[in-house]
Structure 1
Protein backbone atom coordinates (compact mmCIF):
# COMPACT_ATOMS: atom_id res chain seq x y z
CA UNK A 1 0.00 0.00 0.00
CA UNK A 2 1.58 3.27 -1.11
CA UNK A 3 -0.54 5.47 1.11
CA UNK A 4 0.37 5.38 4.79
CA UNK A 5 -2.97 6.16 6.44
CA UNK A 6 -1.58 5.15 9.83
CA UNK A 7 1.31 7.64 9.72
CA UNK A 8 -0.88 10.41 8.32
CA UNK A 9 -3.50 9.80 10.99
CA UNK A 10 -0.81 9.83 13.69
CA UNK A 11 0.47 13.15 12.33
CA UNK A 12 -3.04 14.55 12.41
CA UNK A 13 -3.59 13.48 16.01
CA UNK A 14 -0.18 14.86 17.03
CA UNK A 15 -0.90 18.20 15.34
CA UNK A 16 -4.28 18.37 17.08
CA UNK A 17 -2.67 17.90 20.49
CA UNK A 18 0.09 20.41 19.73
CA UNK A 19 -2.47 22.89 18.38
CA UNK A 20 -4.43 22.76 21.63
CA UNK A 21 -1.26 23.02 23.72
CA UNK A 22 -0.12 26.07 21.74
CA UNK A 23 -3.42 27.86 22.34
CA UNK A 24 -3.38 27.00 26.06
CA UNK A 25 0.24 28.08 26.58
CA UNK A 26 -0.38 31.37 24.75
CA UNK A 27 -3.44 32.06 26.88
CA UNK A 28 -1.73 31.32 30.23
CA UNK A 29 0.02 34.71 30.71
CA UNK A 30 -3.08 36.56 29.49
CA UNK A 31 -5.32 34.76 31.97
CA UNK A 32 -2.73 35.02 34.75
CA UNK A 33 -2.48 38.76 34.41
CA UNK A 34 -6.25 39.13 34.18
CA UNK A 35 -6.67 37.21 37.44
CA UNK A 36 -3.77 38.88 39.25
CA UNK A 37 -4.22 42.46 38.10
CA UNK A 38 -7.89 42.38 37.08
CA UNK A 39 -6.82 44.46 34.08
CA UNK A 40 -5.75 42.28 31.17
CA UNK A 41 -4.28 45.06 28.98
CA UNK A 42 -2.61 47.38 31.50
CA UNK A 43 0.37 45.41 32.77
CA UNK A 44 0.94 42.20 30.77
CA UNK A 45 3.73 39.72 31.46
CA UNK A 46 5.36 40.68 28.17
CA UNK A 47 4.50 42.02 24.74
CA UNK A 48 5.13 38.75 22.98
CA UNK A 49 2.01 36.89 24.03
CA UNK A 50 0.09 39.59 22.15
CA UNK A 51 1.76 38.45 18.93
CA UNK A 52 -0.27 35.25 19.50
CA UNK A 53 2.47 32.77 18.54
CA UNK A 54 0.51 29.87 20.00
CA UNK A 55 -2.97 30.96 18.95
CA UNK A 56 -2.16 32.04 15.38
CA UNK A 57 1.17 30.41 14.50
CA UNK A 58 0.82 27.09 16.32
CA UNK A 59 -2.98 27.18 16.32
CA UNK A 60 -5.00 28.65 13.46
CA UNK A 61 -2.36 27.99 10.79
CA UNK A 62 -2.23 24.30 11.75
CA UNK A 63 -5.97 23.65 11.43
CA UNK A 64 -6.04 22.91 7.67
CA UNK A 65 -3.27 20.28 7.86
CA UNK A 66 -4.75 18.77 11.01
CA UNK A 67 -8.18 18.43 9.41
CA UNK A 68 -6.72 16.92 6.26
CA UNK A 69 -4.58 14.43 8.15
CA UNK A 70 -7.36 13.34 10.48
CA UNK A 71 -9.53 12.71 7.42
CA UNK A 72 -7.16 9.84 6.60
CA UNK A 73 -8.91 7.80 9.29
CA UNK A 74 -11.98 7.79 7.05
CA UNK A 75 -9.92 7.33 3.87
CA UNK A 76 -10.97 10.78 2.70
CA UNK A 77 -7.44 12.11 2.40
CA UNK A 78 -5.25 9.26 1.24
CA UNK A 79 -7.27 7.54 -1.46
CA UNK A 80 -6.14 9.72 -4.38
CA UNK A 81 -3.16 11.71 -5.62
CA UNK A 82 -4.97 15.01 -5.17
CA UNK A 83 -5.56 14.27 -1.51
CA UNK A 84 -1.91 13.46 -0.98
CA UNK A 85 -0.85 16.66 -2.74
CA UNK A 86 -3.22 18.77 -0.63
CA UNK A 87 -1.93 17.05 2.49
CA UNK A 88 1.59 18.22 1.63
CA UNK A 89 0.44 21.70 0.62
CA UNK A 90 -1.45 22.32 3.86
CA UNK A 91 1.56 21.23 5.87
CA UNK A 92 3.62 23.98 4.24
CA UNK A 93 1.25 26.39 6.01
CA UNK A 94 1.81 24.41 9.21
CA UNK A 95 5.57 24.84 8.94
CA UNK A 96 5.21 28.59 8.33
CA UNK A 97 3.05 28.90 11.45
CA UNK A 98 5.45 26.75 13.47
CA UNK A 99 8.43 28.87 12.40
CA UNK A 100 6.52 32.02 13.36
CA UNK A 101 5.80 30.50 16.79
CA UNK A 102 9.47 29.58 17.23
CA UNK A 103 10.76 33.01 16.19
CA UNK A 104 8.46 34.87 18.55
CA UNK A 105 9.33 32.46 21.38
CA UNK A 106 13.09 32.87 20.80
CA UNK A 107 12.77 36.64 20.78
CA UNK A 108 10.69 36.52 23.96
CA UNK A 109 13.32 34.39 25.67
CA UNK A 110 16.06 36.80 24.57
CA UNK A 111 14.23 39.88 25.87
CA UNK A 112 12.66 38.50 29.04
CA UNK A 113 9.45 39.75 30.68
CA UNK A 114 8.52 43.42 30.75
CA UNK A 115 9.50 43.71 34.38
CA UNK A 116 13.11 43.17 33.22
CA UNK A 117 12.86 45.76 30.46
CA UNK A 118 15.05 48.80 31.00
CA UNK A 119 12.70 50.96 28.96
CA UNK A 120 9.87 50.53 31.40
CA UNK A 121 7.26 48.01 32.44
CA UNK A 122 4.64 48.68 29.78
CA UNK A 123 3.65 47.81 26.25
CA UNK A 124 4.99 51.17 25.05
CA UNK A 125 8.48 49.70 25.49
CA UNK A 126 7.77 47.03 22.86
CA UNK A 127 7.87 47.44 19.12
CA UNK A 128 5.47 45.10 17.33
CA UNK A 129 7.33 44.51 14.08
CA UNK A 130 8.68 41.59 12.11
CA UNK A 131 11.89 43.61 11.76
CA UNK A 132 12.67 42.59 15.34
CA UNK A 133 13.32 39.06 14.15
CA UNK A 134 16.42 40.21 12.27
CA UNK A 135 17.93 41.27 15.60
CA UNK A 136 17.75 37.76 17.05
CA UNK A 137 21.19 36.35 17.84
CA UNK A 138 21.84 32.95 19.37
CA UNK A 139 24.46 34.37 21.72
CA UNK A 140 21.80 36.68 23.19
CA UNK A 141 19.77 33.64 24.26
CA UNK A 142 21.63 33.35 27.56
CA UNK A 143 18.60 33.83 29.85
CA UNK A 144 20.65 36.17 32.02
CA UNK A 145 17.47 37.96 33.04
CA UNK A 146 16.29 34.71 34.64
CA UNK A 147 19.49 33.61 36.37
CA UNK A 148 20.30 36.96 37.99
CA UNK A 149 19.15 37.45 41.56
CA UNK A 150 16.95 40.25 40.27
CA UNK A 151 16.31 41.64 36.81
CA UNK A 152 14.49 44.81 37.86
CA UNK A 153 16.43 47.75 36.31
CA UNK A 154 16.28 49.87 39.47
CA UNK A 155 17.75 47.14 41.63
CA UNK A 156 21.34 47.76 42.63
CA UNK A 157 22.98 44.44 42.18
CA UNK A 158 25.63 42.76 40.13
CA UNK A 159 25.46 39.34 38.59
CA UNK A 160 27.06 36.86 40.89
CA UNK A 161 28.76 33.63 39.98
CA UNK A 162 27.10 30.29 39.67
CA UNK A 163 26.94 29.96 43.46
CA UNK A 164 24.85 33.09 43.76
CA UNK A 165 22.46 32.35 40.97
CA UNK A 166 18.87 31.39 41.57
CA UNK A 167 19.01 32.67 45.14
CA UNK A 168 15.61 33.82 46.22
CA UNK A 169 13.96 32.82 42.95
CA UNK A 170 10.64 31.66 44.34
CA UNK A 171 7.05 32.12 43.27
CA UNK A 172 6.53 34.69 46.02
CA UNK A 173 7.01 38.09 44.36
CA UNK A 174 5.66 39.81 41.27
CA UNK A 175 9.08 39.83 39.64
CA UNK A 176 9.71 36.13 40.15
CA UNK A 177 6.19 35.21 39.09
CA UNK A 178 6.67 37.07 35.83
CA UNK A 179 10.11 35.61 35.23
CA UNK A 180 9.12 31.99 35.89
CA UNK A 181 5.88 32.24 33.95
CA UNK A 182 7.56 33.97 31.00
CA UNK A 183 10.32 31.35 30.82
CA UNK A 184 7.94 28.38 31.12
CA UNK A 185 5.42 29.67 28.58
CA UNK A 186 7.85 30.55 25.82
CA UNK A 187 10.03 27.46 26.23
CA UNK A 188 6.83 25.42 25.93
CA UNK A 189 5.76 27.37 22.83
CA UNK A 190 9.23 26.90 21.33
CA UNK A 191 8.96 23.14 21.80
CA UNK A 192 5.44 23.12 20.34
CA UNK A 193 6.70 24.98 17.27
CA UNK A 194 9.61 22.57 16.80
CA UNK A 195 7.38 19.49 17.08
CA UNK A 196 4.79 20.94 14.69
CA UNK A 197 7.50 21.70 12.16
CA UNK A 198 8.76 18.11 12.38
CA UNK A 199 5.24 16.72 11.94
CA UNK A 200 4.68 19.02 8.97
CA UNK A 201 7.94 18.01 7.32
CA UNK A 202 7.24 14.30 7.74
CA UNK A 203 3.76 14.67 6.26
CA UNK A 204 5.13 16.64 3.29
CA UNK A 205 7.49 13.74 2.53
CA UNK A 206 4.70 11.17 2.86
CA UNK A 207 2.31 13.30 0.81
CA UNK A 208 4.73 13.72 -2.08
CA UNK A 209 5.61 10.03 -2.05
CA UNK A 210 1.94 9.17 -2.24
CA UNK A 211 1.39 11.73 -4.96
CA UNK A 212 4.28 10.39 -7.05
CA UNK A 213 3.75 6.68 -6.44
CA UNK A 214 -0.03 6.72 -6.49
CA UNK A 215 -2.47 4.94 -4.23
CA UNK A 216 -3.29 1.28 -3.91
CA UNK A 217 -6.05 -0.05 -6.12
CA UNK A 218 -7.72 -1.83 -3.26
CA UNK A 219 -8.07 1.43 -1.34
CA UNK A 220 -9.05 3.48 -4.39
CA UNK A 221 -11.84 1.05 -5.27
CA UNK A 222 -13.45 1.27 -1.83
CA UNK A 223 -16.52 3.45 -1.90
Structure 2
Protein backbone atom coordinates (compact mmCIF):
# COMPACT_ATOMS: atom_id res chain seq x y z
CA UNK A 1 0.00 0.00 0.00
CA UNK A 2 1.42 3.36 -1.00
CA UNK A 3 1.34 6.49 1.14
CA UNK A 4 -1.61 7.73 -0.94
CA UNK A 5 -3.62 4.61 -0.20
CA UNK A 6 -2.51 4.56 3.45
CA UNK A 7 -3.55 8.15 4.07
CA UNK A 8 -6.82 7.54 2.21
CA UNK A 9 -7.56 4.59 4.48
CA UNK A 10 -6.75 6.68 7.57
CA UNK A 11 -9.05 9.44 6.31
CA UNK A 12 -11.84 6.90 5.86
CA UNK A 13 -11.65 5.72 9.47
CA UNK A 14 -11.43 9.31 10.76
CA UNK A 15 -14.40 10.45 8.68
CA UNK A 16 -16.45 7.47 9.86
CA UNK A 17 -15.83 8.39 13.50
CA UNK A 18 -16.65 12.05 12.86
CA UNK A 19 -19.75 11.09 10.89
CA UNK A 20 -21.14 9.01 13.75
CA UNK A 21 -20.25 11.71 16.29
CA UNK A 22 -21.94 14.43 14.20
CA UNK A 23 -25.18 12.45 13.87
CA UNK A 24 -25.18 11.63 17.60
CA UNK A 25 -24.62 15.27 18.60
CA UNK A 26 -27.36 16.51 16.28
CA UNK A 27 -29.81 13.93 17.63
CA UNK A 28 -29.08 14.76 21.29
CA UNK A 29 -31.20 17.96 21.61
CA UNK A 30 -34.00 16.39 19.54
CA UNK A 31 -34.15 13.41 21.88
CA UNK A 32 -33.95 15.66 24.94
CA UNK A 33 -36.82 17.83 23.72
CA UNK A 34 -38.90 14.71 23.02
CA UNK A 35 -38.27 13.29 26.50
CA UNK A 36 -38.97 16.63 28.23
CA UNK A 37 -41.93 17.60 26.02
CA UNK A 38 -44.56 17.32 28.74
CA UNK A 39 -42.56 19.41 31.20
CA UNK A 40 -41.10 22.07 28.95
CA UNK A 41 -43.14 22.26 25.72
CA UNK A 42 -42.69 25.95 24.94
CA UNK A 43 -38.92 26.12 25.33
CA UNK A 44 -37.07 23.84 22.91
CA UNK A 45 -33.33 23.98 23.08
CA UNK A 46 -32.85 25.63 19.71
CA UNK A 47 -34.12 26.01 16.17
CA UNK A 48 -30.79 25.16 14.65
CA UNK A 49 -30.83 21.42 15.34
CA UNK A 50 -33.75 21.25 12.87
CA UNK A 51 -31.36 22.40 10.14
CA UNK A 52 -29.67 19.00 10.76
CA UNK A 53 -26.07 20.25 10.57
CA UNK A 54 -24.76 17.00 12.00
CA UNK A 55 -27.18 14.60 10.31
CA UNK A 56 -27.04 16.14 6.81
CA UNK A 57 -23.91 18.32 6.70
CA UNK A 58 -21.52 16.24 8.81
CA UNK A 59 -23.40 12.98 8.21
CA UNK A 60 -25.10 12.14 4.92
CA UNK A 61 -22.82 14.33 2.79
CA UNK A 62 -19.76 12.57 4.23
CA UNK A 63 -20.92 9.00 3.54
CA UNK A 64 -19.74 8.75 -0.11
CA UNK A 65 -16.20 9.90 0.70
CA UNK A 66 -16.08 7.66 3.77
CA UNK A 67 -17.07 4.55 1.81
CA UNK A 68 -14.63 5.38 -0.96
CA UNK A 69 -11.77 5.96 1.47
CA UNK A 70 -12.46 2.82 3.51
CA UNK A 71 -12.25 0.81 0.29
CA UNK A 72 -8.55 1.67 0.20
CA UNK A 73 -7.97 -0.72 3.11
CA UNK A 74 -8.75 -3.60 0.74
CA UNK A 75 -6.81 -2.04 -2.14
CA UNK A 76 -10.02 -1.91 -4.12
CA UNK A 77 -11.65 1.33 -5.31
CA UNK A 78 -8.64 3.51 -4.59
CA UNK A 79 -6.05 1.20 -6.13
CA UNK A 80 -6.18 3.06 -9.45
CA UNK A 81 -6.12 6.60 -10.75
CA UNK A 82 -9.85 6.74 -11.40
CA UNK A 83 -10.50 5.65 -7.82
CA UNK A 84 -8.24 8.36 -6.44
CA UNK A 85 -9.96 10.94 -8.63
CA UNK A 86 -13.37 9.85 -7.35
CA UNK A 87 -12.01 9.97 -3.82
CA UNK A 88 -11.07 13.62 -4.35
CA UNK A 89 -14.43 14.39 -5.93
CA UNK A 90 -16.44 12.87 -3.08
CA UNK A 91 -14.36 14.77 -0.55
CA UNK A 92 -15.38 18.04 -2.21
CA UNK A 93 -18.93 17.08 -1.17
CA UNK A 94 -17.59 16.30 2.29
CA UNK A 95 -16.02 19.74 2.60
CA UNK A 96 -19.24 21.44 1.49
CA UNK A 97 -21.26 19.47 4.05
CA UNK A 98 -18.72 20.21 6.78
CA UNK A 99 -18.78 23.94 5.98
CA UNK A 100 -22.58 23.83 6.25
CA UNK A 101 -22.26 22.14 9.64
CA UNK A 102 -19.73 24.74 10.79
CA UNK A 103 -21.88 27.68 9.70
CA UNK A 104 -25.08 26.42 11.31
CA UNK A 105 -23.23 25.54 14.53
CA UNK A 106 -21.52 28.94 14.56
CA UNK A 107 -24.86 30.71 14.22
CA UNK A 108 -26.38 28.54 16.94
CA UNK A 109 -23.59 29.49 19.33
CA UNK A 110 -24.09 33.17 18.57
CA UNK A 111 -27.87 33.07 19.01
CA UNK A 112 -27.96 30.90 22.11
CA UNK A 113 -30.83 28.54 23.02
CA UNK A 114 -34.43 29.63 22.54
CA UNK A 115 -34.99 29.46 26.26
CA UNK A 116 -32.78 32.55 26.56
CA UNK A 117 -35.22 34.59 24.52
CA UNK A 118 -38.73 34.53 25.97
CA UNK A 119 -40.15 36.23 22.88
CA UNK A 120 -39.03 33.37 20.65
CA UNK A 121 -39.38 30.43 23.00
CA UNK A 122 -41.28 28.26 20.56
CA UNK A 123 -40.26 26.58 17.32
CA UNK A 124 -43.40 28.11 15.77
CA UNK A 125 -41.56 31.45 15.72
CA UNK A 126 -38.40 30.07 14.14
CA UNK A 127 -37.68 31.42 10.70
CA UNK A 128 -36.23 28.64 8.56
CA UNK A 129 -34.68 30.58 5.70
CA UNK A 130 -31.18 30.93 4.32
CA UNK A 131 -31.52 34.68 4.69
CA UNK A 132 -32.08 34.25 8.41
CA UNK A 133 -29.23 31.76 8.60
CA UNK A 134 -26.80 34.20 7.00
CA UNK A 135 -27.67 37.08 9.32
CA UNK A 136 -24.89 37.40 11.90
CA UNK A 137 -25.71 39.41 15.00
CA UNK A 138 -22.57 41.22 16.07
CA UNK A 139 -23.82 41.78 19.59
CA UNK A 140 -23.86 38.04 20.25
CA UNK A 141 -20.17 37.45 19.58
CA UNK A 142 -19.29 37.57 23.27
CA UNK A 143 -21.45 34.49 24.11
CA UNK A 144 -22.93 36.47 27.00
CA UNK A 145 -25.88 34.08 27.22
CA UNK A 146 -23.49 31.32 28.30
CA UNK A 147 -20.64 33.05 30.13
CA UNK A 148 -22.53 35.45 32.41
CA UNK A 149 -25.61 33.37 33.31
CA UNK A 150 -27.71 36.39 32.32
CA UNK A 151 -30.01 34.09 30.39
CA UNK A 152 -31.21 32.25 33.51
CA UNK A 153 -32.17 35.46 35.30
CA UNK A 154 -33.89 36.83 32.23
CA UNK A 155 -35.97 33.70 31.66
CA UNK A 156 -37.04 33.28 35.27
CA UNK A 157 -38.17 36.90 35.48
CA UNK A 158 -40.03 37.00 32.16
CA UNK A 159 -41.90 33.71 31.91
CA UNK A 160 -45.40 33.48 33.37
CA UNK A 161 -45.12 29.82 34.27
CA UNK A 162 -42.68 28.86 37.02
CA UNK A 163 -39.47 27.59 35.45
CA UNK A 164 -36.74 25.66 37.19
CA UNK A 165 -33.33 27.32 37.14
CA UNK A 166 -31.77 23.87 36.85
CA UNK A 167 -33.86 23.14 33.74
CA UNK A 168 -32.83 26.39 32.07
CA UNK A 169 -29.19 25.76 32.92
CA UNK A 170 -29.51 22.24 31.54
CA UNK A 171 -30.82 23.58 28.23
CA UNK A 172 -27.99 26.09 28.04
CA UNK A 173 -25.32 23.46 28.69
CA UNK A 174 -26.81 21.05 26.16
CA UNK A 175 -27.06 23.77 23.51
CA UNK A 176 -23.48 24.91 24.07
CA UNK A 177 -22.04 21.38 24.20
CA UNK A 178 -23.91 20.14 21.12
CA UNK A 179 -23.08 23.00 18.80
CA UNK A 180 -19.52 23.43 20.02
CA UNK A 181 -19.06 19.73 19.36
CA UNK A 182 -20.60 20.04 15.89
CA UNK A 183 -18.38 23.03 15.17
CA UNK A 184 -15.29 20.98 16.01
CA UNK A 185 -16.57 18.00 14.00
CA UNK A 186 -17.12 20.23 10.99
CA UNK A 187 -13.63 21.76 11.25
CA UNK A 188 -11.99 18.33 11.47
CA UNK A 189 -14.01 17.06 8.51
CA UNK A 190 -12.89 20.05 6.45
CA UNK A 191 -9.24 19.30 7.30
CA UNK A 192 -9.53 15.60 6.47
CA UNK A 193 -11.54 16.36 3.34
CA UNK A 194 -9.04 18.89 2.03
CA UNK A 195 -6.11 16.58 2.75
CA UNK A 196 -7.82 13.76 0.84
CA UNK A 197 -8.55 16.06 -2.09
CA UNK A 198 -4.82 16.79 -2.31
CA UNK A 199 -3.80 13.14 -1.82
CA UNK A 200 -6.38 11.96 -4.33
CA UNK A 201 -5.21 14.50 -6.87
CA UNK A 202 -1.59 13.42 -6.44
CA UNK A 203 -2.59 9.77 -6.66
CA UNK A 204 -4.51 10.51 -9.84
CA UNK A 205 -1.50 12.24 -11.41
CA UNK A 206 1.29 9.97 -10.19
CA UNK A 207 -0.58 6.68 -9.98
CA UNK A 208 -0.81 4.20 -7.11
CA UNK A 209 0.78 0.88 -6.34
CA UNK A 210 0.38 -1.99 -8.74
CA UNK A 211 -0.64 -5.41 -7.61
CA UNK A 212 2.37 -7.60 -7.12
CA UNK A 213 2.84 -10.43 -9.55
CA UNK A 214 2.94 -13.99 -8.34
CA UNK A 215 6.22 -15.57 -9.30
Class of the TM-score when normalised by the shorter of the 2 chains: 0.7 to 0.9
Three-state SS of the structure 1 residue aligned to 2:36 is helix
Change (3 A) 1:47 1:148: same
Consecutive unaligned residues of structure 2, counting only runs of 5 or more, are: 159-163
Q: How many Å separate the matches in 1 of 2:92 and 2:184?
A: 18
Write out aligned runs for 1:136-151 (5 A): 136=136, 140-151=140-151
Are the counterparts in 2 of residues 65 and 90 from structure 1 also a CA contact under 8 Å? yes
Three-state SS of the structure 1 residue aligned to 2:67 is helix
Q: What does residue 65 of structure 2 align with?
A: 65
Q: Say whether residues 1:181 and 2:179 are aligned partners.
A: no
Change (3 A) 1:82 1:38: farther
State the Cα RMSD in Å: 2.5
Q: How many Å separate the matches in 2 of 1:15 and 1:40?
A: 35
Are the counterparts in 1 of residues 80 and 207 from structure 2 also a CA contact under 8 Å? yes
Three-state SS of the structure 2 residue aligned to 1:217 is coil
Q: How many Å separate the matches in 1 of 2:9 and 2:41?
A: 40
Q: What does residue 13 of structure 1 align with?
A: 13
What number of residue pairs does the alignment pair up? 208
Q: Which is further off, 1-10 or 186-195?
A: 1-10
Q: What does residue 215 of structure 1 align with?
A: 208
Change (3 A) 1:40 1:179: closer
TM-score (structure 2 length as normaliser):
0.87
TM-score (structure 1 length as normaliser):
0.84
The structure whose residues are more often helix, as a share, is 2
Q: How many Å separate the matches in 2 of 1:46 and 1:207?
A: 38
